[in-house]
Structure 1
Amino acid sequence: MFSKPKPIQKKSNKGMGFFIPKKTVESLPHSESYWGVVAKNFNRPQGFINLENGYFSHQPIATLDYHGEAESRINTQSSFFMRSEQSKAIEDARNIFAGFQGWDVEEVAFTRNTTESLNTIIMGTHWQLGDEVIIGDQDYGSMVEAFQQAAARWGIVIKVAQISLYPASDQDIIQAYVQQITARTKMLHVTHMINLNGHLIPVQAIVREAKQKQPNLWVVVDAAHSLAHMPMNLSELSNAGADIIGGSLHKWLCNPIGVGFLYVKRSLIREIWPLMGDIGMEKDNIRKYEHQGTRPINSLQTISKAIAFHQLLGATSKYNRLLYLKLLWIGNKVALETFGKSLGIFSDPEYQQNMNAVHDLSNFDNFKLQSPLFPFSRGGAIATAAIDGYTPTELSSILMTKFTIFTVGINHPIVRGVRVTPHLSNAAADCIALNQALTILCKDLIPHNESIPTKK
């Protein structure tokens, strides 16, 4: 997953409207001269540092403009477009996205988000009384509620795998799921990257062991945060045996809001009902899951633009940058040294300067990282941390009001802290600023009702 990349070839983005330096190598995640140019593709908010990019990713300016132009064309052509060109636009988008992930176009449907994709599966499955489903204890709330509703309607049994925040090995996670499997297990639902703290789950290994134990179960994957975040194609999951995968394009692919995808293995399409009634479509046609009524086709048309930006950057280059920004605000010296040496940049003056600008927050007893740090393949940009004495809401509030840094408080039974999600639009200085703010809060143990030095 984490590897030293090779130099990229000179790429041209003429006519695309993106600002991407042409002469670089992919092994420089710390280079602000390169990533500062990349950041100019985005409109940054004024008056605060945004380190909460997990809800959705803002679009590059050129993508935003393309989306608006496509909407204008549809608005001008009106019903003519919808009745004569809409179908082709959808199929063009399907071909582009399926090719991007290495999938058969006849196994990919477009939805509005991950929640709709996986609710389609959960509500469309032919459940029998006593069927068992295995979920994780940190799965996304909407998925958990969908299974709870299915349990209330059809009498299915929900079994919960307990996932360690700091697993000693992948085998710990694998066994947490596999040990729950019985002859009654119909479905195993796995979140590829946990939204609460960015923990990447070893899906391929789970699939292999689960299907050895129960060949007929369906493995359903929530890939909302892994698409275009981790340097991989999601077809790697389906090739390993995952049957169904849902995700969102408006997160790390930086597509306009309101586009999700649903991959369903062809042999299962006939067995799963669509969420919306569509008796006119053949039962084995993936398009039966797309009966949404009138929808913004320009968002589908923009997928090609979003993919182009991702590919110009390079998946590994993008991942390494996001990982570097996470390591920088956490400040763990061992992690920063390991990362820098693995890419041959540890001795670079700019790398050393930024590393020296941050404090190792793990040295504070009251700082609690809620995300696994090693190995690096356990995550990407997202991490969650807590400081003893502050609730998640209080900590996120004080970071915003006193230091003008926006994060989000996560108040979950297992993960409690502020989730920090840097983006391609963030500079190293943003993460250094967060590290320094957290250092003040940890070091000075400032009571909640006393003043805190305001960021200058």
Structure 2
Amino acid sequence: MTDRRAFLRRAATAAGALALSPAALLAGAADVVGDELARLGPAAAPARLAEDEAFWARVRAGYALDPQVLNLDHGWTNPTPRAALDELARQARVLEGLPAEHLPGMWEGVSNVRVRGELAAAMGVPPAEIALVRNATEALDTVLLGLPLQRGDEVVCATHDYYAMLDALEQRRDRDGIVLRMVELPVPAPSLDALAERYEAAIGPRTKLVLLTHPSNLTGQLLPAARIAAAARRAGALVAVDGAQSLGVLEDPVRSLDCDFYGASAHKWLGLPVGLGVLWMRPAHVERVWPLLPPAPGTKGMARFEWIGTAPEYVNLAALPALALHRTLGPARKAARLRYLADRWRARAARALPQARYYAEPAQSLGLTTVEIPGTDAKALQQRLRRRDRILVQAMVDNARAPGIRGLRVSPNVYTTPAELDRFVDALAAAARAS
């Protein structure tokens, strides 16, 4: 069994384990949604279910959403289901009532077995191959800062990679003398082949690592990750994938990308409470990578990357109802719904905003759409939409590495309604006219 905190296991008590309520952990929207899917039968196929507003309204009922704001910024953080919120509060009270006894039981009884198993199942990998961390930044920075690299070794990355990962690589450049080969990606990409060719041209005999963001949080652009990974492997390089924006909506999210390292946050499209992420790596690489924080002597396997000291273990426990809902819905249904919603609002926007420029083609994106209205200030549009129309989107601006990105990132959730997206497009068109 993977052991995150050896001293906690030694201190585990029956009192800690008995504080947990397995029935409560799995109750909630997952049961309701599962019953409805069973009733629908063949109509629950992803493409058909994507347009079933009655079904998605039932899903929405499982969330405690702010009724005053139309949230179209789920690419940052998804709300977690009401059942997970209830469990978060309940387990926090249990823990704080007697922390010294309940912490060990929470880790050993739930996090180390059930949460690990559910997350691994969502990723399609064995539980022993993942580490429970706090977010994608911690997961990927573990690799980017911990992989042995020598002065002159090259890392291929892109200007559209997440800023925190590029910060880590630039620190290694300044500290260790590695060389960064930063790929400039076309916006929008004319094809996946064109993207692959950019990376293939940057990969050379000194390349030791290739970082891929799948998809980009800036543009929503998916990458031909498997093809790029094959090119990296021919050069003897390893591949790290930032899957923060696709875990939960991509089937077989790890193996299909043919990578060596994979990190993601669970608070995005998996919909878990903030504070849980996951790191996977091929077993052959585990002992090569230095952990961010030194683990206890003798720690083996992926447990080497889990030590952070005392942590709020109740966050992990509250993940189980959210994971149950994800398992019931499945990534294919969620992806089909998100693509349906994106196609729908883009079709309406084509009529209301014919000048709009999109940063990724629909077939090459998933969950996120970044749109630029030429001649307007994206930040001003974002602020007007939030203040005047009570609509929340994200302004993708002021990125020194990618100054050409000047759009609004729109990321509905599966329970967002077409009527809400119609309201957004109308408000965006009005804001663009007023700018």
| Shorter-chain TM-score tier | 0.7 to 0.9
Quote the residue 2:297 is aligned against.
Answer: 280
Matching residue within 245, 248, 261 for 1:228: 248
User: Quick one: structure 1 residues 386 and 241, their matched pair in 2 at CA, closer, same or farther if it must change by over 3 Å?
Assistant: closer
Q: What whole-Å deviation, never above 9, does each CA across 1:168-204 have from its counterpart, x for those lacking one?
A: 3222111111111121111100001100121111211
Name the aligned partner's letter for residue 242 of structure 2: D
Q: Are the aligned partners of 1:97 and 1:303 in contact in 2 as well (CA < 8 Å)?
A: no
- Unmatched 5+ stretches in structure 1: 1-12, 332-357, 449-456
Quote the residue 2:360 is aligned against.
Answer: 371
Matching residue within 313, 318, 321 for 2:329: 313
Q: Are the aligned partners of 2:134 and 2:276 in contact in 1 as well (CA < 8 Å)?
A: yes
Matching residue within 366, 371, 389 for 2:375: 389
User: Quick one: structure 1 residues 226 and 431, their matched pair in 2 at CA, closer, same or farther if it must change by over 3 Å?
Assistant: same
TM-score for both structures, normalised by structure 2: 0.86
Q: Are the aligned partners of 2:378 and 2:395 in contact in 1 as well (CA < 8 Å)?
A: yes
- Unmatched 5+ stretches in structure 2: 1-23
Quote the residue 2:55 is aligned against.
Answer: 34
SS in 2 for 1:270: helix
Distance 1:16 1:34 in 2: 19
Name the aligned partner's letter for residue 154 of structure 2: E
Quote the residue 1:71 is aligned against.
Answer: 92
User: After superposition, where does 1:441-452 map in structure 2 within 5 Å?
Assistant: 441-442=431-432, 445-446=433-434, 448=435
Q: CA deviation at 1:329?
A: 1.8
SS in 1 for 2:288: coil
Q: Is residue 2:217 matched to residue 1:195?
A: yes
User: Quick one: structure 1 residues 287 and 388, their matched pair in 2 at CA, closer, same or farther if it must change by over 3 Å?
Assistant: same
SS in 1 for 2:75: coil
Matching residue within 435, 446, 450 for 2:425: 435
Q: What whole-Å deviation, never above 9, does each CA across 1:216-260 have from its counterpart, x for those lacking one?
A: 311000001110022x122324xx531000000111111110111
Matching residue within 308, 312, 318 for 1:292: 308
SS in 2 for 1:302: helix
User: Quick one: structure 1 residues 362 and 158, their matched pair in 2 at CA, closer, same or farther if it must change by over 3 Å?
Assistant: farther
Quote the residue 2:226 is aligned against.
Answer: 204
Distance 1:31 1:184 in 2: 52
Larger fraction in helix:
2
Distance 1:88 1:185 in 2: 43
Q: Are the aligned partners of 1:57 and 1:254 in contact in 2 as well (CA < 8 Å)?
A: yes
Q: CA deviation at 1:74?
A: 2.4
Q: Are the aligned partners of 1:323 and 1:380 in contact in 2 as well (CA < 8 Å)?
A: yes
Quote the residue 1:343 is aligned against.
Answer: none
Quote the residue 2:239 is aligned against.
Answer: 219
TM-score for both structures, normalised by structure 1: 0.82
Name the aligned partner's letter for residue 226 of structure 1: S
Q: CA deviation at 1:263?
A: 0.4
Q: Are the aligned partners of 2:353 and 2:429 in contact in 1 as well (CA < 8 Å)?
A: no
Matching residue within 10, 16, 34 for 2:27: 16
Distance 2:49 2:81 in 1: 21
User: Quick one: structure 1 residues 35 and 241, their matched pair in 2 at CA, closer, same or farther if it must change by over 3 Å?
Assistant: closer
SS in 1 for 2:89: helix
Q: What whole-Å deviation, never above 9, does each CA across 1:23-63 have from its counterpart, x for those lacking one?
A: 22231312221111211111221322111111111111112
Distance 1:319 1:369 in 2: 19
Quote the residue 2:145 is aligned against.
Answer: 123
Q: Is residue 2:416 matched to residue 1:426?
A: yes
Distance 2:106 2:430 in 1: 58
Name the aligned partner's letter for residue 274 of structure 2: I
SS in 1 for 2:49: coil
Q: CA deviation at 1:415?
A: 1.9
Q: Percent identity at matched positions?
A: 26
Q: Are the aligned partners of 1:138 and 1:414 in contact in 2 as well (CA < 8 Å)?
A: no
Name the aligned partner's letter for residue 280 of structure 1: P
User: Quick one: structure 1 residues 28 and 97, their matched pair in 2 at CA, closer, same or farther if it must change by over 3 Å?
Assistant: closer
Matching residue within 341, 344, 348 for 1:325: 341
Q: Are the aligned partners of 2:394 and 2:409 in contact in 1 as well (CA < 8 Å)?
A: yes
Quote the residue 2:274 is aligned against.
Answer: 257
User: After superposition, where does 1:155-194 map in structure 2 within 5 Å?
Assistant: 155-194=177-216
Distance 1:402 1:301 in 2: 38
Name the aligned partner's letter for residue 420 of structure 1: V
Name the aligned partner's letter for residue 394 of structure 2: V
Quote the residue 1:341 is aligned against.
Answer: none
Quote the residue 1:243 is aligned against.
Answer: 260
Q: Are the aligned partners of 1:74 and 1:298 in contact in 2 as well (CA < 8 Å)?
A: yes
Quote the residue 2:391 is aligned against.
Answer: 405
Quote the residue 1:4 is aligned against.
Answer: none
Quote the residue 1:107 is aligned against.
Answer: 129
Name the aligned partner's letter for residue 46 of structure 1: P
Q: Are the aligned partners of 2:84 and 2:319 in contact in 1 as well (CA < 8 Å)?
A: no
Segment of structure 1 superposing worse, 67-76 or 309-318: 67-76
Q: What whole-Å deviation, never above 9, does each CA across 1:411-451 have from its counterpart, x for those lacking one?
A: 13132111111013422111011112233345xx33x3xxx
CA-based RMSD of the aligned residues comes to 2.1
User: Quick one: structure 1 residues 173 and 83, their matched pair in 2 at CA, closer, same or farther if it must change by over 3 Å?
Assistant: same
Q: CA deviation at 1:113?
A: 0.6
Quote the residue 2:13 is aligned against.
Answer: none
User: Quick one: structure 1 residues 370 and 100, their matched pair in 2 at CA, closer, same or farther if it must change by over 3 Å?
Assistant: closer
Question: How many residues are treated as equivalent by the alignment?
Answer: 397
Q: What whole-Å deviation, never above 9, does each CA across 1:240-295 have from its counterpart, x for those lacking one?
A: 5310000001111111101111101111111111000225134x521011110111
Runs of 4+ more than 4 Å apart:
none
Q: What whole-Å deviation, never above 9, does each CA across 1:380-429 have from its counterpart, x for those lacking one?
A: 22101121222111111122233221111111313211111101342211
Distance 1:370 1:268 in 2: 35
Distance 1:39 1:77 in 2: 35
Q: CA deviation at 1:110?
A: 1.0
